[in-house]
Amino acid sequence: MSRYEGLERANYYGDRRVAESMRVRAYEVVDVDRNMRARLKLHESLVESIEEEASEPVEDYLRACSIRVENDDEHGLLVVVRSDFQVCPLCSGRGAVVDPNIDAGGLTREDFDHDPQFESDYFGGVFDMTCPTCDGLRVVPEPDLPNALLAQVRAFEDDADSFLSEQLAELRFGC
């Protein structure tokens, strides 16, 4: 790998859009109803860690924490909690981001001076892709998790983010 390729690789895997697309979440929002209740599918590893900590089945533990639990053939174990919406932190409410393959290494004035059509296309959104965080919706649900579950979600996401940081560092340096 040449020095230039190494820098490009490091820049690409150091980009927050790339990291966000690889991030493992503690839960997936299945849907949000008109009453602002979100149905969440808990990550399998989070369910396992709850079961290890609790001395009872996870469904009973969640119900004891005043969390409504549903079983769904398609999604498995779902919890229902109140939710709000916030502007997507990645795209700032645009619903799209520039594809990191285009500008993760940075662009200079020279890139645009050499190819005026590229500048027009870049600023015109030709290289945009759907935001990986909000899937183009411009907002993301922010579930109001009870404290008992919130602590476990934070611990799960801290561990997942730590692993992702290691993974990205290895990718940046060609491992």
Pair 143, 157: CB distance under 8 Å: no
Pair 21, 126: CB distance under 8 Å: no
Q: What is the pLDDT of residue 58?
A: 87
**Kind of pairing between the strands at 139-143 and 76-87:** antiparallel
* Of the listed ranges 9-13, 100-104, 164-168, the one predicted with least confidence: 9-13
Residue of higher predicted confidence among 78 and 174: 78
Give pLDDT tens digits for 67-106: 899 876 666 789 999 999 999 999 999 999 999 999 988 8
* Of the listed ranges 48-62, 107-121, 129-143, the one predicted with least confidence: 48-62
Residues contacting residue 106 through CB under 8 Å, at least 6 positions apart: 11
E runs forming strands in 48-154:
68-72, 76-87, 96-98, 128-130, 139-143
- Domain positions in the chain: 3-170
Pair 136, 91: CB distance under 8 Å: no
